[in-house]
Copies of this chain bind each other. A is one copy, B any other.
């Protein structure tokens, strides 16, 4: 990789981590350049504005990360009951990047940016729809293979499950302990089994 491209990517990655911990609005450009050891000139050479950087983070960091961690796992298991549960368990209990006290990066961005920034909302909506499609497809395939009842509405279930995930991530912030995830996962398992 060219040096300049590496600088740009490094800014995006470190800024993403900072923003995950501190939120977008309260993470200043000065903080970003301090932790990246990149000067303001370099920063504003690569990004016209802070928001342009924010959007680049969504496109170039968050989107691929979600494809890897949220979508791929759904395609490794034919039984959606198992696939969805394992995905959630992995995200909540095993994922090393995601911290209980800071919640879900995508949910955080949605929470603070969506009501008043149309560009952010558009990208976040795209990202969310990708996950939605992947999960709904997994459920549909599961129906064909007899893992899921035929009368189950896949899109509806997907929305229900995704909502639960975003919500429990917020609960985690309150409790500040992963132990709150366990009863959620248990009930998710019960719910998923009721679909088969």
Chain A interface residues toward B at CB < 8 A: 21-23, 25-26, 101-103, 107-108, 110-112, 114-116, 121, 124-125, 128, 153, 155-157, 159-160, 162-168, 170-171, 173-176, 180, 183-184, 186-188, 190-191, 194
Whether A125 contacts B175 by the Cβ 8 Å rule is: yes
The smallest beta-carbon distance between A63 and chain B, in angstroms, is 15
Docked-complex contact B114 and A111, CB < 8 angstroms: no
Query: How far does the alpha carbon of A94 sit from the alpha carbon of B157 in the complex, in Å?
Result: 23
Residues of B within 8 A of A184 (CB): 156, 159-160, 163
- Copies of this chain per assembly: 2
- Is B159's CB under 8 angstroms from A171's CB? yes
Q: Across the interface, which residues of B come within 8 angstroms of A191, CB to CB?
A: 160, 191, 194
A102 to B115, CA, bound (A): 6
